[in-house]
Structure 1
Amino acid sequence: MNISQVEEKIKALGDTIDKVEFIFSLLECYGKPKASITRLKMVGRGSYNLAKKEGEVLWKKQVYYKSTVSDKLLSTIDEMKHSESAKKHQPRFIIAVNDTQLVAIDTRTADTLDIQITQLKNRFDFFLPWANMEKAQFQPESPADVKAAEKMAKLFDMLRLNNAANDSNQIHAQNVFLSRILFCYFAEDTGIFEPRLFTGHVASHTAEDGSDLADYLRQVFDVMNLEVRTNVPNYLEDFPYVNGGLFADKLPVPTFDRKSRAMLIECGSDLNWSEINPDIFGSMIQAVVDPSQRGNMGMHYTSVPNIMKVIEPLFLNELKAEFAKHHSSRAKLEQLLLRLEHINIFDPACGSGNFLIIAYKELRELEMEIFKRLQEITKDGLIPLPRIKISQFYGIELDDFAHEVAILSLWLAEHQMNLKFKEVFGRCNPALPLNNSGNVVRGNALQKDWKNVCPLSDNTQVFILGNPPYLGSSLQSDQQKEDIAHVFFGIEGYKSIDLIASWFYKAARYIAGTGSRAAFVSTNSICQGEQVGLLWPNIFENNIEIDFVHQPFKWENNAKKNAAVYCVIVGLRNSSNSEKYLFKEGLSQTVENINPYLVATKRNIILPKRQKPLSRIPSMTYGSKPTDGGNLLLEPNEKDEFVKKYPEAKKYLKRFIGASEHTNNKERWCLWINDQELNEALTIRGISERINKVEEFRLNSTKAATRAIAGVAHRFGEPRYIASNSILVPIHGSDRRQYIPFGFLDKSFVASNATQVIYTGELYVFGLISSLIHNVWIKASCGKIKEDPRYSSTLGYNNFPVPSLTDQNKLDISALVLEILSSREQYPELSLSDLYDPDLMPPDLMEAHSRLDAVVERCYRAKDFVNDEDRLDYLFKLYEKMTGAPNA
């Protein structure tokens, strides 16, 4: 059941209720089986109703319901929440109603609802989990990280003025220095050091002009690497032994002046570093050392809510569900603790470690909840100690500074969680000396064998996650192309593949045949157009399937600028019969299967590049390409001057129309000269001059194919024009449009290669592709630039499944096309771009399109489509039926 169907059923309930029957009707609205509801209504043996009191219904794991005449529903529901029945049977929802009011609690999310029953139709989304659509839970962020990164940027800039970093060794030394300073700031504000130990000693033990600060810091760093100390000056004795390798290497320390010394102290004293999130701050601090990113401080880091969108469905939701399920079993909870100890988290593009750190923190939080519950049920003086270690967290990072920050951030996260653990349980592992810093290595993840970095074993489960880089083939560096070639060695067609596909493929190979899983943030390009055929067959052949998907969304964060990045999150697992989850617009839905286009269908379908239409519709081709250096084309003023000067040339001019001209009411012209007209045309001086320039342009080309057509300079380089009516297809569209603004042209127009063309005068063809159901198909099957679709004939139009049409169907569609064209003509002052803007579309044009949709969709089936997902699901099923195979 989908959300629209639920909404319709809730509206049908009306505003008055029968309190006895209400809960049964409500459950039915959300798709609960009628057989189950019948058993819930039963009395006695075999009934699902576990309630003991009249007026109550208690269905295990589902609902605890009570109807009452009392107007104190808040007190009623509080009693129900704390009852033994609720604790034992763990209903998802607790509901209390009287004649006019409804109060409810979602026991999983702790959300509450307090409404008049007449408002239920507006708040029906509260109970959507009954229909397998979960409300996504997002975590807030703190702006303190941005402020800290900006302060550090000022310090870094001051140091760079007097400290060159011209080679890799100098850059590495500065990177390590920044990591050490960050650790000291954090340590003095979180109890690792005594309060203000670092900034206080710098302020009181060094000269104000900064002349001796470098030497002082060098001594401090050396002391913090000494476990056994002799002959250490008294003023350095306060600094503890740190270990962990952070201060092990003797590296140059930058020189300071008065301003940079003051800023070093200010960064420590003006900020409370205990409020800093090492997971997010680490990403932003990368911008400190890369001035090219400075204006977008934190712009493209993966925010905490978006990281949670990855780790919750990947592993955290399952672990929390296991905890809830075995809430009262000591043995099962101890088994769960043991499982946590044998989980490894691996980010092969870890950057500064934000995914690893959020995952670490969440697992530590769950561990604490388990320990608290064990203390409640054992009563035998259990003394917890943390079992999850940062050595369970693995990463690969190419950038030197990000690698150093990732190691540092894991230490800081461990200390933060240890402080929380101590606050709850009264004891924890000591902060110093530091433990091993996790297994983050520096290197090229696409060249490394991941199993050497994060080994698999029979008693461990690995969860791969992250936000790898994504670049299309035209934007890839030579090294990135070499990396892709290494990953896809032996596989044909990889040269056009997106960079991020390499991570998905390596992850699929890594988890194949194991209980491990993977999930990455990605642009949605890997699930559109030709990328689907390039990547997904290679993943599926490893017996890997899509586990869950967050459909395209735009992420935002607390940076001063928000990144206009649209992404998807795709989870992978070994094939199984377990449920899969589709997340869209804050809801999750349980589905049987998710195909590579991120649509819930029963089977995986991969659309091929089809050269001819699957259905009985005319062929589509590209428009004509001039390859003329601009000499066969004329702007309106040039055309007017040309005709004024050479009136006899008028018959060789045609309207030249591309996507921009079509949608924005622009005008351009072109010379179109057939071979049999050439001699006559050359007698016109203006034409002969332009043809000579075309010939010269083509002869000077570096492309042999262009030089080869210099002898026919009167023709377009790629002439595809046919003297007939045609349908113009803009290649680039807008995701905001509900309909694609196709054009219907007569033979006086030459379509440019910025468009595609169907040479036909059949109005019903125009109607089919102008319909909503066709646009839904194009958005799913073709590639996009950001969120805007790019029309493809081979992937979209030629694969578009059209049912068998009767002559009457074609007549009905054609009649409505005439209405659409007539409606357009009523607004000559508006361009098609305006007419098809959803905020500006005239009501009569919208109405004409709606009537067309109804007629076209009736050709597919008699029953109305509920929404676009319903349309797409039907189209894929029809496609499979028409082709006879999932990948045909």
Structure 2
Amino acid sequence: MSKIVDDLNSFVAYASTLDGDEKGEAQVFCDRLFRAFGHEGYKEAGATLEYRIKKTSSKGTSFADLIWKPRLLIEMKRGGEKLQLHVRQAFDYWVNAVPNRPRYVVLCNFNEFWIYDFDRQLDEPVDRVNLKELPKRYTAFNFLFPVERKPQFNNDRDEVSRQAADKMAELFKRLTRRLKHPVPREQAQRFVLQTVVAMFAEDIDLLPAGMIKGIVDDCLQNKQSSYDLFGGLFHQMNDPNFAKGGRFVGVRYFNGGLFSQINPIELTEFELDLIGNEAKGDQGAALKDWSKVNPAIFGTLFQQSMDAAERHAYGAHFTSEADIQRIVGPTIVKPWRERIDAATTMKQLTTLRRELAEFQVLDAACGSGNFLYVAFRELARLDQLILLRLKALVSHKEFQNQSKQLVAIRPLQFHGIDLDSFGVELAKVSLMIAKKLALDEAIDALAEDDAGEFTKGTGELAFHRDEALPLDNLDENIRCEDALFAKWPKVNAVIGNPPYQSKNKAQKEMEPGYLQKLRQHYPQIDGRSDYCVYWFRKTHDQLAEGQRAGLVGTNTIRQNYTREAGLDYITQNGGTITEAVSSMIWPGDAVVHVSIVNWVKGKQLGKKRLYIQEGNDQQSGWRHADFDKIGASLSFATDVTTAKRISANAQKGCYQGQTHGHEGFLLQPKEAEALLKLHPDYEQVLFPFLIGDDLLGGIPPKPSRFVIDFRELSLPEAQHFKLLLTRVQKMVLPDRQKAADEETARNKQIRAAVPGAKVNKHHANFLKHWWLLSYGRSDMLAVLSGLNRYIACVRVTKRPIFEFISTEISPNDSLQVFAYDDDYSFGLLQSNVHWAWFIERCSTMKADPRYTSNTVFDTFPWPQKPTTKAIEEVAKASRELRKCRNDMRAKRKQSLREIYRTLELPGANPLKDAHAALDQAVRNAYGMGKTIDPLAFLLALNRQLVEAERKGEAIQGPGLPASVKNRAPFISADCLTP
């Protein structure tokens, strides 16, 4: 026998002597468990007992029994305690155990272990292990060894769900893509869903066992007709009259919704194999244990049965259960749980149960119904909690009276809207199945073997099991409509994950005229906003006082136009953000960064919790903080969303680089240099062209290509540069002609759909001047023409790296250009004061900050009356910083990007010292003390300057202050040259 088995046998023998006292024995139990897995003890392993976790309300702090980051959280309960009643508590601990959140959570009552991996599977533990089984089942705890191993779980519902979903998705694809007689999409959808319900039903005791496999066997082995057999089963499932004989005796009535229309299909042998051929090595879907299939399978099925292009057009994204809980928990569960916990009498509890039974929930972008399914399950669990509280308060007779309806929650309390017909049908199926699963869970939770009041197998329970059928007809509840134009039902809470697309993608992917209709219907929403903002706005307008909502949006929901149309509107019109995620990576195929917002229409006292996922690590990257108020920018810093445009800033100085628009304008350096040698005058229209990666990644940094820029030359004038014009004519003109023709055709369709609609004419304008860059930025070039150098930074960047660029180099639109040549202006822009403002006022590209001149530069207040000494100190510090960088680059042969990565490492670093000196000099120029919050200071200054401009008073704008009479000492010579 191995040492691990010996050690675990010893642990089991010791643990069996304990009384199961949660307070007195949990710690020694955990310590002995760690010793059994090869540690000297929990402390030596690095675990912590009674780990402090701040609650998400104002009620103080909770303590998890043990945390061993980033692997394990253990929550102990008294011996024999029903662990299913404490899953929510364990989940809340896990959510807030950041940073380095543990991967696994173990609930234990001294007799059994329930193991959870909430990122993969929320509804059920991935394994259940009895104490006495531990020596044989220890591989489920492989994560507990000093050197972590991959655990082997027996209840990985996620894997079973994916396998079953793959089979049914493949069946759907095969049916619709037959070479001969392909099945119409809608018919294939309905047949697949009817089959899925039947497979679920036979594994959760709603259909006789083995029904589907028996049909497949008869079709494959006895050559019977699948058209007849599946058609007969589905017809019987839709018949209120039970079969008195024949194959379908025992099949009960399901409903008149999904099974109201039966269109059987004669399946091929391969299609039958996908459903249930045991003879094939890869088992069919019917041979899976569907009682272990998570209803989130329908989300997966929905996603996999659509091709990638279609999913993107709808903005559809798969959502995990753990992420759904970030909305369902704060918006639905937490408020109800607080009310239930506060109830102390039978009257209060029965009143709450009646209210719970009438609580209505809407997902206006329901997709396959995952949000609605989780909401149903959580409301059903709240209902169980009320019954358990009643059971402890009232007599057995009174409890039997109160529990005649074992589950008060009904699918008809849930409403959904979606444009995709398949998603709508999937959502109905999810809720139909949720009813049966909730009933089974309630029976398990209320069973009392010792008292015999509610024992499995009694006639009383058999009666309750019969409540599962017939399934509700949800045709009126889950509707296939465009939610933005449909009338929403009156509900108590709105949840969901609306589709998200940027304005530009929406123009390309939506049907002609749709955006025009949308803007006519919602004229108050800026047309540049992300698509999801329409759901936020409409949701808030639908809520009554005291009602709640929780939605997922792209992280642009907290930025600029989208924030102003959505979260600003919500917070300025009676909404209070109660809990939110500022930014996180949304799991699934779509690599998007999202924000999650839960809010109430009205006030809510107490602290509000804000989360953020930093970097790409799903576990360790999380942090959170509590605030009296969460602002519309979902920021952990001072909320500066109210800052306004300063006219002096907006007049000139900050520009986006040139957008060439077509590769035909670009040349490799060798090709350009050869042309310039033959035609020196081509230097008038052929320029080195700098992109962001050249600036940050080049060793040394220099332009990697040239651009043909005819500036504002007319076509006849451009003829002088014949070789270049011919190149552009050959490469660019045909594509611009094609794009313009397509735009004209699309505009015709738009105007046919929406007479008088405003249409885009970008490509027509590009064609009109086909020899010119798409956006040559002539205003920028005019300003730069009077300078020898300008300041630039990469527009989308993780680090604040500014550099002087020679005006002989043209900036690509990946660069943000600042038309200043002095060292003082450079110092202000490179300082952490400006970076702090940039981070809070910018937009983002995925998770990376993006410099937006109108929100960042135009609102950034410059020092108003810096002393001459302070100005000189900033200029000197900026020169020394650049010298430090240049010396490091020359010595180390590294790029700017590589040099700045050293700032992330501990230890002495001359670059850190140079930045610190500059930052202090800039603070001195503002008159900003060391302890002053720069954002609060800048916001107050912004308001002061805006008010001064309103009164007609002069202010100090960007650049060298007016007090500097001699600019020469502030204009050094260093810059990036061609």
Q: What TM-score does the superposition give when structure 2 sets the normalisation length?
A: 0.68
For 1:436 and 1:731, locate their aligned partners in 2 and report how far apart those are by CA, in whole Å. Answer: 57
- Residue 196 (structure 1) aligned with residue 210 (structure 2): yes
What is the CA-CA distance between 1:238 and the residue it aligns to?
2.7
- Residue 275 (structure 1) aligned with residue 292 (structure 2): yes
What is the CA-CA distance between 1:743 and the residue it aligns to?
1.6
- Residue 174 (structure 1) aligned with residue 208 (structure 2): no
| Kept after mapping to 2: 8 A contact 1:307/1:355 | yes
Aligned to 2:819: 759
Aligned to 1:657: 690
Aligned to 2:618: none
Alignment of 1:717-756 (within 5 A): 718=778, 719-720=781-782, 721-734=784-797, 737=798, 739-756=799-816
- Alpha-carbon spacing, 1:441–1:851, altered in 2? closer, same or farther (3 Å): same
- Residue 495 (structure 1) aligned with residue 527 (structure 2): yes
| Kept after mapping to 1: 8 A contact 2:303/2:318 | no
**For 2:855, what is the secondary structure of its paired residue?**
helix
For 1:262 and 1:653, locate their aligned partners in 2 and report how far apart those are by CA, in whole Å. Answer: 65
What is the CA-CA distance between 1:795 and the residue it aligns to?
1.1
| Kept after mapping to 2: 8 A contact 1:727/1:742 | no
Unmatched runs of 5 consecutive residues or more in structure 2:
1-17, 28-42, 56-61, 69-88, 106-117, 122-157, 278-283, 447-453, 455-460, 614-621, 741-762, 952-978
1:856 to 922, 928, 938: 922
Alignment of 1:646-795 (within 5 A): 646=679, 655-663=688-696, 664=698, 665-667=701-703, 668-669=705-706, 687=721, 689-690=723-724, 718=778, 719-720=781-782, 721-734=784-797, 737=798, 739-795=799-855
| Kept after mapping to 2: 8 A contact 1:728/1:744 | yes
- Residue 831 (structure 1) aligned with residue 895 (structure 2): yes
What is the CA-CA distance between 1:158 and the residue it aligns to?
4.2
Deviates more, 1:208-217 or 1:395-404: 208-217
- Alpha-carbon spacing, 1:351–1:164, altered in 2? closer, same or farther (3 Å): farther
| Kept after mapping to 2: 8 A contact 1:655/1:748 | yes
For 1:263 and 1:536, locate their aligned partners in 2 and report how far apart those are by CA, in whole Å. Answer: 47
| Kept after mapping to 2: 8 A contact 1:778/1:796 | yes
- Alpha-carbon spacing, 1:256–1:625, altered in 2? closer, same or farther (3 Å): closer
Q: Which amino acid is the alignment partner of residue 516 of structure 1?
A: Q
For 1:365 and 1:711, locate their aligned partners in 2 and report how far apart those are by CA, in whole Å. Answer: 67
Q: Tell me the alpha carbon deviations over residues 228-254 of structure 1, each in whole angstroms, 9 at most, x when there is no partner.
A: 257x642221322222523222x3212
**For 1:111, what is the secondary structure of its paired residue?**
strand
**For 2:673, what is the secondary structure of its paired residue?**
helix
Alignment RMSD = 4.5
Aligned to 2:550: 519
- Residue 259 (structure 1) aligned with residue 280 (structure 2): no
Q: Tell me the alpha carbon deviations over residues 483-527 of structure 1, each in whole angstroms, 9 at most, x when there is no partner.
A: 67447636256332221111111101111x432221111111121
| Kept after mapping to 2: 8 A contact 1:211/1:255 | no
For 2:924 and 2:872, locate their aligned partners in 1 and report how far apart those are by CA, in whole Å. Answer: 14
- Alpha-carbon spacing, 1:707–1:774, altered in 2? closer, same or farther (3 Å): same
For 1:221 and 1:149, locate their aligned partners in 2 and report how far apart those are by CA, in whole Å. Answer: 21
What is the CA-CA distance between 1:849 and the residue it aligns to?
2.2
| Kept after mapping to 1: 8 A contact 2:357/2:408 | yes
- Alpha-carbon spacing, 1:722–1:644, altered in 2? closer, same or farther (3 Å): closer
Unmatched runs of 5 consecutive residues or more in structure 1:
1-71, 82-96, 116-125, 457-461
What is the CA-CA distance between 1:846 and the residue it aligns to?
3.6
For 2:239 and 2:707, locate their aligned partners in 1 and report how far apart those are by CA, in whole Å. Answer: 81
Aligned to 2:165: 149
- Alpha-carbon spacing, 1:672–1:516, altered in 2? closer, same or farther (3 Å): closer
- Alpha-carbon spacing, 1:874–1:258, altered in 2? closer, same or farther (3 Å): same
Aligned to 1:642: 675
- Alpha-carbon spacing, 1:444–1:321, altered in 2? closer, same or farther (3 Å): same
Aligned to 1:472: 502
Q: Tell me the alpha carbon deviations over residues 201-260 of structure 1, each in whole angstroms, 9 at most, x when there is no partner.
A: 543x44527551111111111122222257x642221322222523222x3212123332
- Residue 243 (structure 1) aligned with residue 255 (structure 2): yes
- Alpha-carbon spacing, 1:871–1:413, altered in 2? closer, same or farther (3 Å): farther
For 2:413 and 2:512, locate their aligned partners in 1 and report how far apart those are by CA, in whole Å. Answer: 29
Q: Tell me the alpha carbon deviations over residues 407-456 of structure 1, each in whole angstroms, 9 at most, x when there is no partner.
A: 111111111110111223333352453242445333233344444xx225
Aligned to 1:416: 437
For 2:430 and 2:787, locate their aligned partners in 1 and report how far apart those are by CA, in whole Å. Answer: 67
What is the CA-CA distance between 1:294 and the residue it aligns to?
11
Aligned to 1:104: 50
**For 1:343, what is the secondary structure of its paired residue?**
coil
What is the CA-CA distance between 1:313 and the residue it aligns to?
1.5
What is the CA-CA distance between 1:172 and the residue it aligns to?
1.8
Aligned to 2:861: 801
- Residue 78 (structure 1) aligned with residue 144 (structure 2): no
What is the CA-CA distance between 1:272 and the residue it aligns to?
0.7
Aligned to 2:579: 548
Q: Which amino acid is the alignment partner of residue 189 of structure 1?
A: D
Report how many residues are paired. 750
**For 1:256, what is the secondary structure of its paired residue?**
coil
- Residue 584 (structure 1) aligned with residue 537 (structure 2): no
What is the CA-CA distance between 1:626 and the residue it aligns to?
6.9
| Kept after mapping to 1: 8 A contact 2:417/2:483 | no
What is the CA-CA distance between 1:469 and the residue it aligns to?
0.5
Q: Which amino acid is the alignment partner of residue 165 of structure 2?
A: A
Q: Which amino acid is the alignment partner of residue 620 of structure 1?
A: C
- Alpha-carbon spacing, 1:442–1:831, altered in 2? closer, same or farther (3 Å): same
- Alpha-carbon spacing, 1:181–1:154, altered in 2? closer, same or farther (3 Å): same
Q: Which amino acid is the alignment partner of residue 446 of structure 1?
A: A
Q: Tell me the alpha carbon deviations over residues 553-591 of structure 1, each in whole angstroms, 9 at most, x when there is no partner.
A: 11336xxxx653211101233242534332235555432
- Residue 213 (structure 1) aligned with residue 231 (structure 2): no
Q: Tell me the alpha carbon deviations over residues 739-778 of structure 1, each in whole angstroms, 9 at most, x when there is no partner.
A: 3222213443343454332222221221222123323322
Aligned to 1:12: none
1:621 to 641, 645, 655: 655
For 1:236 and 1:582, locate their aligned partners in 2 and report how far apart those are by CA, in whole Å. Answer: 55
What is the CA-CA distance between 1:463 and the residue it aligns to?
0.8
- Alpha-carbon spacing, 1:627–1:499, altered in 2? closer, same or farther (3 Å): closer
For 1:257 and 1:627, locate their aligned partners in 2 and report how far apart those are by CA, in whole Å. Answer: 51
- Alpha-carbon spacing, 1:465–1:688, altered in 2? closer, same or farther (3 Å): same
**For 1:795, what is the secondary structure of its paired residue?**
coil
Aligned to 2:595: 568
Deviates more, 1:536-545 or 1:359-368: 536-545
**For 1:727, what is the secondary structure of its paired residue?**
strand
Aligned to 2:874: 813
Q: Which amino acid is the alignment partner of residue 455 of structure 1?
A: K
| Kept after mapping to 1: 8 A contact 2:574/2:603 | no
Aligned to 2:349: 333
For 1:265 and 1:446, locate their aligned partners in 2 and report how far apart those are by CA, in whole Å. Answer: 38
For 1:441 and 1:711, locate their aligned partners in 2 and report how far apart those are by CA, in whole Å. Answer: 53
Q: Which amino acid is the alignment partner of residue 823 of structure 2?
A: L
**For 1:520, what is the secondary structure of its paired residue?**
strand
- Alpha-carbon spacing, 1:293–1:177, altered in 2? closer, same or farther (3 Å): farther
Alignment of 1:364-375 (within 5 A): 364-375=380-391
- What percentage of residue pairs aligned between the two structures are identical? 21
What is the CA-CA distance between 1:348 and the residue it aligns to?
0.5
Q: Which amino acid is the alignment partner of residue 595 of structure 1?
A: G
| Kept after mapping to 2: 8 A contact 1:397/1:443 | yes
| Kept after mapping to 1: 8 A contact 2:640/2:935 | no
Q: Which amino acid is the alignment partner of residue 657 of structure 1?
A: L
Q: What TM-score does the superposition give when structure 1 sets the normalisation length?
A: 0.74
What is the CA-CA distance between 1:792 and the residue it aligns to?
1.4
- Alpha-carbon spacing, 1:587–1:717, altered in 2? closer, same or farther (3 Å): closer
**For 1:566, what is the secondary structure of its paired residue?**
strand
- Residue 599 (structure 1) aligned with residue 632 (structure 2): no
Aligned to 1:45: none
